[in-house]
Amino acid sequence: MNSTIFLFIATLLCWGPTWYIIKFQLGTVDPMVSVFYRFFLASVIILFSIFGFAIAGFGVSSVVPICYTLASSIKDVDPTISITVITIAIYGNFMIAPPILGYIANIIGVQFVYLPIVLLFTLSTIIVFSIVQL
Protein backbone atom coordinates (compact mmCIF):
# COMPACT_ATOMS: atom_id res chain seq x y z
CA MET A 1 0.00 0.00 0.00
CA ASN A 2 1.28 3.42 -0.88
CA SER A 3 2.21 5.48 2.19
CA THR A 4 0.23 8.47 0.91
CA ILE A 5 -2.93 6.37 0.78
CA PHE A 6 -2.21 5.07 4.29
CA LEU A 7 -1.85 8.61 5.63
CA PHE A 8 -5.02 9.70 3.82
CA ILE A 9 -7.00 6.82 5.35
CA ALA A 10 -5.57 7.59 8.81
CA THR A 11 -6.66 11.21 8.44
CA LEU A 12 -10.13 10.16 7.36
CA LEU A 13 -10.46 7.81 10.33
CA CYS A 14 -9.42 10.56 12.74
CA TRP A 15 -11.35 13.50 11.29
CA GLY A 16 -14.44 11.76 9.94
CA PRO A 17 -15.96 10.78 13.29
CA THR A 18 -14.99 14.16 14.72
CA TRP A 19 -17.12 16.07 12.22
CA TYR A 20 -19.96 13.61 12.68
CA ILE A 21 -19.88 14.10 16.45
CA ILE A 22 -19.82 17.90 16.07
CA LYS A 23 -22.86 17.77 13.76
CA PHE A 24 -24.67 15.35 16.07
CA GLN A 25 -24.23 17.41 19.23
CA LEU A 26 -24.93 20.86 17.77
CA GLY A 27 -28.68 20.35 17.99
CA THR A 28 -28.79 19.50 21.69
CA VAL A 29 -25.82 21.31 23.25
CA ASP A 30 -24.74 24.93 23.02
CA PRO A 31 -21.72 25.19 20.69
CA MET A 32 -19.58 26.88 23.38
CA VAL A 33 -20.31 24.08 25.86
CA SER A 34 -19.52 21.50 23.18
CA VAL A 35 -16.20 23.14 22.37
CA PHE A 36 -15.37 23.45 26.07
CA TYR A 37 -15.85 19.82 26.98
CA ARG A 38 -14.17 18.59 23.80
CA PHE A 39 -11.06 20.63 24.63
CA PHE A 40 -11.32 19.61 28.28
CA LEU A 41 -11.40 15.92 27.35
CA ALA A 42 -8.50 16.41 24.94
CA SER A 43 -6.42 18.12 27.64
CA VAL A 44 -7.14 15.31 30.11
CA ILE A 45 -6.05 12.73 27.54
CA ILE A 46 -2.87 14.72 26.85
CA LEU A 47 -2.11 14.91 30.59
CA PHE A 48 -2.51 11.14 30.91
CA SER A 49 -0.19 10.70 27.91
CA ILE A 50 2.45 12.95 29.46
CA PHE A 51 2.14 11.03 32.74
CA GLY A 52 2.57 7.75 30.84
CA PHE A 53 5.68 9.03 29.06
CA ALA A 54 7.10 10.15 32.42
CA ILE A 55 6.58 6.67 33.87
CA ALA A 56 8.21 5.13 30.80
CA GLY A 57 11.13 7.56 31.17
CA PHE A 58 11.67 6.50 34.77
CA GLY A 59 11.69 2.87 33.68
CA VAL A 60 14.08 3.36 30.77
CA SER A 61 16.42 5.72 32.62
CA SER A 62 17.94 2.86 34.59
CA VAL A 63 19.25 1.14 31.46
CA VAL A 64 22.32 3.35 30.95
CA PRO A 65 23.68 2.98 34.53
CA ILE A 66 23.18 -0.78 34.26
CA CYS A 67 25.12 -0.79 30.97
CA TYR A 68 27.92 1.24 32.58
CA THR A 69 28.08 -1.15 35.54
CA LEU A 70 28.18 -4.22 33.32
CA ALA A 71 30.74 -2.65 31.00
CA SER A 72 33.04 -1.72 33.88
CA SER A 73 32.90 -5.24 35.31
CA ILE A 74 34.21 -7.02 32.18
CA LYS A 75 37.37 -8.95 32.97
CA ASP A 76 40.60 -8.11 31.16
CA VAL A 77 39.21 -4.76 29.92
CA ASP A 78 40.03 -1.40 31.47
CA PRO A 79 36.80 0.08 32.91
CA THR A 80 37.49 3.51 31.42
CA ILE A 81 37.75 2.03 27.94
CA SER A 82 34.57 -0.02 28.29
CA ILE A 83 32.59 2.95 29.62
CA THR A 84 33.93 5.09 26.77
CA VAL A 85 32.79 2.48 24.24
CA ILE A 86 29.29 2.40 25.77
CA THR A 87 29.11 6.21 25.74
CA ILE A 88 30.19 6.40 22.10
CA ALA A 89 27.61 3.75 21.19
CA ILE A 90 24.83 5.66 22.97
CA TYR A 91 25.66 9.05 21.42
CA GLY A 92 26.26 7.42 18.06
CA ASN A 93 22.83 5.86 18.24
CA PHE A 94 21.23 9.25 18.95
CA MET A 95 23.01 10.78 15.96
CA ILE A 96 22.66 8.02 13.38
CA ALA A 97 19.25 6.47 14.18
CA PRO A 98 16.98 9.33 12.98
CA PRO A 99 18.53 9.58 9.49
CA ILE A 100 18.48 5.80 9.13
CA LEU A 101 14.83 5.61 10.19
CA GLY A 102 13.99 8.41 7.74
CA TYR A 103 15.80 6.59 4.93
CA ILE A 104 14.01 3.33 5.73
CA ALA A 105 10.67 5.19 5.83
CA ASN A 106 11.45 6.64 2.41
CA ILE A 107 12.24 3.23 0.95
CA ILE A 108 9.65 0.88 2.48
CA GLY A 109 7.07 3.30 3.91
CA VAL A 110 6.30 4.94 7.22
CA GLN A 111 4.15 2.07 8.46
CA PHE A 112 7.13 -0.34 8.31
CA VAL A 113 9.85 1.98 9.61
CA TYR A 114 10.44 0.06 12.85
CA LEU A 115 10.41 -3.39 11.24
CA PRO A 116 14.25 -3.59 10.92
CA ILE A 117 14.58 -2.66 14.61
CA VAL A 118 12.17 -5.44 15.57
CA LEU A 119 14.12 -7.88 13.41
CA LEU A 120 17.45 -6.83 14.96
CA PHE A 121 15.98 -7.10 18.47
CA THR A 122 14.64 -10.59 17.71
CA LEU A 123 17.97 -11.65 16.24
CA SER A 124 19.95 -10.33 19.21
CA THR A 125 17.55 -12.04 21.65
CA ILE A 126 18.04 -15.36 19.86
CA ILE A 127 21.83 -14.91 19.90
CA VAL A 128 21.88 -14.04 23.62
CA PHE A 129 19.74 -17.02 24.58
CA SER A 130 21.83 -19.39 22.42
CA ILE A 131 25.02 -18.12 24.12
CA VAL A 132 23.50 -18.44 27.60
CA GLN A 133 22.52 -22.07 26.95
CA LEU A 134 26.09 -23.01 25.96
Residue 83 CB burial class (10 angstroms; 0-12, 13-18, ≥19):
middle
> Is 20 a residue whose pLDDT tops 60?
yes
Q: Please check whether residue 110 lies inside any domain of the structure.
A: yes
Per-residue pLDDT, averaged over 6-35, amounts to: 73
Residue 8 lies in a domain: no
Lowest mean pLDDT among 22-26, 51-55, 82-86, 125-129: 22-26
In a domain, residue 19? The reply is no
92-120 pLDDT per residue, tens: 888 998 898 888 888 888 888 888 888 88
Average pLDDT over the chain, rounded to an integer = 82
The answer to whether residues 87 and 71 touch, using CB atoms and an 8 Å cutoff, is no
At 25-51, the pLDDT tens digits run: 666 777 777 778 778 888 888 899 899
Whether 1 is in a domain gets the answer no
Q: Is position 119 within any domain? A: yes
Q: Does residue 29 fall inside a structural domain?
A: no
Supply the pLDDT for residue 123: 92
Are 112 and 8 contacting, i.e. CB atoms less than 8 angstroms apart? no
How many helices (H) and strands (E) would you count in the chain? 5, 0
Range of the domain at 123: 62-133
Total domains in the chain come to 1
Domain annotation covers residue 81? yes
This prediction has a pTM of 0.44
Q: Is 49 contained in some domain? A: no
